[in-house]
Structures are given as C-alpha cells and as structure tokens.
A and B are shown apart, each in its own frame.
Chain A
Amino acid sequence: MTQWERAQAKPVSPDITDRSNALPAKYFTEPEFFEMEKEKVFGQYWIYAGHANSISEPWQFFTRTVGNQTLILVRTADGDIRSVKNFSARDGAPIVDETPMSDPGYIDPDEFTDLESVHVDSIGPLVFVNLADDPMPLSEQAGVMKDRLEALPLGEYEHACRIVSEVECNWKVFASNYSECDHCQANHQDWIKGISLDESELEVNDYHWVLHYTHEEDVEDEMRIHDEHEAQFHYLWPNFTVNMYGTADGYGTYIIDPVDTDRFQLIADYYFRDSDLSEEEREFIRTSRQLQEEDFELVERQWDGLKTGALAQAQLGPNEHTVHKFHRLAQDAYNS
C-alpha cells in the first residue's frame, strides 16, 4: 500500500545557494512578496523600457510602468532619451495617459520640464530605466550581453508587431521556464524537430544567461545577424529577454511583466528590416506565438500545482543552472 511520505513535502533547505534548491514556494505565492519585489527587484535593477526607434522624433513619448511607478520616456529636442515620473508635482495627477511603445504620442515640452527624472541607459536601441538613486551601471548588470548585442545592427531593424498576452501564473514561473530547455522535447514537439539540443549550450553570467541553440535551417548569409545555424536566447535579470532566432532576418524581445502575484503579461515585440510584415515573417511570428501558447499551458499547470501549498520548495535538476541563477538573484534581491 502506498504511504504518503510527509518528509517529501517539507522544504529542502532555505539556503538556495545549494545548487539543487529552488526558491521557496512562498516567494511565488504570497502577495506580500510581490509588494516587496516592486521595491527590491523592480525598484533596484535596470528594467527594459522599450525600443529607441519607436520614439524617433523630438517630444515623442511612450509610458512604462515599473514597480509602483509609471514613467514617461521621451525623445528630447537634442535627440537624447529621458525618463521622468508621470505625475505632477503640484497635485500628483498623471501628466499623460498610458501610452504603449507600439503607439507612441507627443508631449508638450512645457509640461515635461519640471518632472522628476529617473536613470536611463541603453544597449544599442534597447532603452532601460532604473528607479534606484545610485544604481549599478547597466554595463555591469548586462555584462557581455551588452557588448554582444551592440556588435549587431539591431538599430537598423524596425518594430513590426507587438502581441500582449495575459497569463494566470506568477511571473517567476514563466521566467524560470524560459531559462531552460529541458521542457522543450515534450512541450514544443514541432519546433524541436529543427533544433540540435545536444549541441546547445547554457551560458551563465552575473545577471544574464544565454541559451545557444543550433538549428538545421538558416537564413541566407547576407541576411544573417549572428553565427551560422545559431539561435541565441538571452535572459537579462529580472524580466527581459532578447531572442535572436537565426531562422529569420530579425529578432524579438519579451518583457515578463508582473500584474500581481497570480498574473503576468508577456509583451512580445518583433523587429524586422521593415515594419510591414511579409507573409514569411507573419508565419514566423505565428510559430513564435505557438511556442508561447505551449509554454503558457505548461506554466499555468505548474502554477496551479504551486498554489496548492503542497510543495514548500522545489528541487532543481542538474541541468537547470540558469534557473538556479534566476532563483538566486531573486533571493539576493529579497535579502538586500
């Protein structure tokens, strides 16, 4: 007769420096931790705001909510990008309505002058903001990812498509899922046919990690923007990815934005040579959407399980270095 083994449901160890130990489940499921993350994660690190090409003209702007703050990102008259907090010092009211990067607006320069600034920096055309008073440099957080991405002509590409999906799951579950490909064989059966997983490599850096894959098909040589038959999936702590697909003359980014403890939005942006999608590019995005849906189904199932409270702390597999890195960075931030 099977006997319930209670010991298996107990925490492995609160010390997640042990490489098989995942972040305790309470950090995923309890709402107070999400409030803490707004300050200690989203209020401390460099957070991706959007693409410089989307505000190419003076006083064009978009908004971005980071932690507890809504920010305005503006192209100023001298061509720089600045970010300010979206509230009036006089009465606290928002200066502008929420305006996504994919549909930017124009701000009156007079309205902009006295607003409180936040730090802005960029990697090529990718613009980041930081709410901390004295943040670490973006170059330190992004490490070699900054050099690698800046060696590519990312700024020559145009935003072609944004798809926003809301998913019933804590943002960290999806982030962990993105960071490994152990699930790919079972979960992405169509896509995996063209991928040589044996030749894939997981590279772990201080605040980012890269999954390098090789694949059978490739774009023509003159169109390729990275190594032959290679796809690179970069994850930058805490919630940004850059997806160099290899099979398309373009790239994508994901923002894994928490809505609350139980939900996140996946904001997927796609960049190609031209903002008008060709039929091939449309088909490429459809495949990307399919992979997202397959992952959503998987992480929503994991989330349902995690919420039951039966598991106090998961144990990671031997290949999940990147997931462990993600969990450790979360733990470091919480303890800071």
Chain B
Amino acid sequence: MSTQEQASYVAVCPECDVDLQTDEPNEIVAFHRRHYRVTGHDVKLERTELNFEEVTSTDIKGVVRQLEEQYENGVPIGVVAAVMNEHGLTIGETLDKIHEVRMTGGLYEPRDNYLGAF
C-alpha cells in the first residue's frame, strides 16, 4: 500500500494524458487555463475532495453565496469549479458561466481568482 497521501484535486487532460495533482484548488484552474491556451483542450477534474457539507445550490451564484460563509475573503474559483464538476460542468464551462454572471453584476472578485456573490 502506498504511503503517499492522495492530493485533494486531480485534473487531467484525457487527450494529452497529462495531469495535475494538488491540494490548492486554484491551481487546477491555472492548469486548465495554461493547457487550454496551448492546446484548446478542456481539462477534466478526476478527483475533488471537498471538506464541507454538500452544496445544495446548483447555479454558480447560489454556490458562491453558500460557500462564502466558509471563506473569509472570497471563495477560491477552483472550489467553485470542483462543486460545479459534481453538477456535470467542466472547468472551462464553469469559467464561462462565471464570466457570464459577473457581467450581469451577480458576482465579483474581492481578489484575483476568488469570488463573492451579490
């Protein structure tokens, strides 16, 4: 049995057979952005370990609002991507939806790559 601890988040690109294992949720988004910029491939989340109660909301704004209570200065965008992954959205699709809602004024970034809901 391996003694190596499993990373909380594993993102993979099935087409290129590359992956990223990390405990830092926003790194999966950075990985997606880099990979998408170079290859045009949307990477997939293979493993997400969310250490909080189930998020009942299914829309982006509701998810951020629900998670905001657990984070002091904005919800990491990677955590939002992980929750939306449970609802069948890829990282790329989640980022597109975040942009869409931000442009209507429903979400804001209190700091880079962290989200607040209004």
Which residues does A use to contact B, with CB under 8 Å? 163-168, 263, 285-294, 297
- B31 close to chain A: CB less than 8 A: no
Known: A293-B102, A297-B103. A166 touches B110 (CB 8 A): yes
**Closest Cβ neighbor of B106 among chain A residues:** A286
Between A and B, 17 residue pairs with Cβ closer than 8 Å are: A164-B110, A165-B108, A166-B109, A168-B112, A263-B112, A286-B105, A287-B105, A289-B106, A289-B108, A289-B118, A290-B104, A292-B108, A293-B103, A293-B104, A293-B105, A294-B103, A297-B103
- Point out the residues of chain B lying under 8 angstroms from A288, CB to CB: 105
A188 CB, min distance to chain B CBs, angstroms: 11
Give the complex CA separation of A290 and B99 in angstroms.
11
When distances are taken between beta carbons in the complex, the residues of chain A under 8 Å from B116 are: 163
Give the docked Cα–Cα distance between A291 and B102 (Å). 10
Smallest CB separation, B114 vs chain A (Å): 8
A245 to chain B, nearest CB (A): 14
Q: How far is the CA of A289 from the CA of B105 in the complex (A)?
A: 4
A286 to B61, CA, bound (A): 13
Distance of A163 Cα from B106 Cα, bound (Å): 11
Q: Report yes or no: A166 in contact with B105, Cβ–Cβ below 8 A.
A: no
Q: Does B111 contact A (CB under 8 A)?
A: yes
Cα A288 to Cα B109 in complex, Å, equals: 15
Residues of A within 8 A of B108 (CB): 163-165, 289, 292-293
| Distance (whole angstroms) from the CB of B58 to the closest CB of chain A | 21
Interfacial residues of chain B within 13-61, with CB under 8 A of chain A in the complex: none
B103-A290 in contact (CB<8A): yes
The size bracket of the interface on B is 10 to 19
Considering the complex, give the chain B residue whose CB is closest to the CB of A288.
Answer: B105
CB distance from B72 to the nearest CB of A (A): 11
Q: Is the CB of A285 within 8 A of B103?
A: no
Closest 10 CB pairs of A and B: A289-B105, A290-B105, A286-B105, A166-B111, A165-B108, A164-B110, A293-B102, A293-B103, A166-B112, A163-B108
**Once bound together, how far apart are the Cα atoms of A68 and B27, in whole Å?**
31
Q: Which residues of B contact A165 (CB under 8 A)?
A: 108-110
Residues of B89-118 contacting chain A, CB below 8 A:
102-106, 108-112, 116, 118
**Chain B residue at minimum C-beta to C-beta distance from A190:** B104
Q: How far is the CA of A124 from the CA of B110 in the complex (A)?
A: 28
With a CB–CB cut-off of 8 A, which chain B residues contact A287? Answer: 105
Chain A residues within an 8 Å CB radius of B105 = 285-293
Q: Contact check: which of A166, A263, A286, A297 meets B118 at CB < 8 Å?
A: A286
Q: State how many angstroms separate the Cβ of A259 from the closest Cβ of chain B.
A: 9
Residue numbers in B under 8 Å from A297 (CB-CB): 103
Task: List residues of chain B with CB within 8 A of the CB of A293.
Answer: 102-105, 108
Most chain A C-beta atoms within 10 Å of own C-beta, residue among B105, B110, B116: B105
Q: How far does the alpha carbon of A168 sit from the alpha carbon of B111 in the complex, in Å?
A: 10
**Cβ of B68 to closest chain A Cβ, rounded Å:** 13
| In the complex, chain A residues whose CB is within 8 Å of the CB of B109 | 165-167
Determine how close the nearest CB of chain B comes to the CB of A266; give it in whole angstroms: 9
B102 cross-chain contacts in A, Cβ below 8 A: 293
Taking the closest CB of chain A, its distance from the CB of B99, in whole angstroms, is 9
Contact partners of B110 in chain A: CB under 8 A:
164-166
Say how far B110's CB is from chain A's closest CB, in angstroms.
5
Shortest CB distance A101–B (Å): 15
- Give, as a whole number of angstroms, the nearest-CB distance from B81 to chain A: 19
- Of A166, A263, A290, A291, chain B has the most CB atoms within 10 Å of the CB of A166
CA distance A83 to B111 in the complex (A): 27
A291-B118 Cα distance, complex, nearest whole Å: 14
Please report the C-alpha to C-alpha distance between residue A288 and residue B106 in the assembled complex, in whole angstroms. Answer: 10
In the assembled complex, the CB of B109 is this many whole angstroms from the nearest CB of chain A, namely: 6
Q: A165 vs B116: C-alpha distance in the bound complex, in angstroms?
A: 9
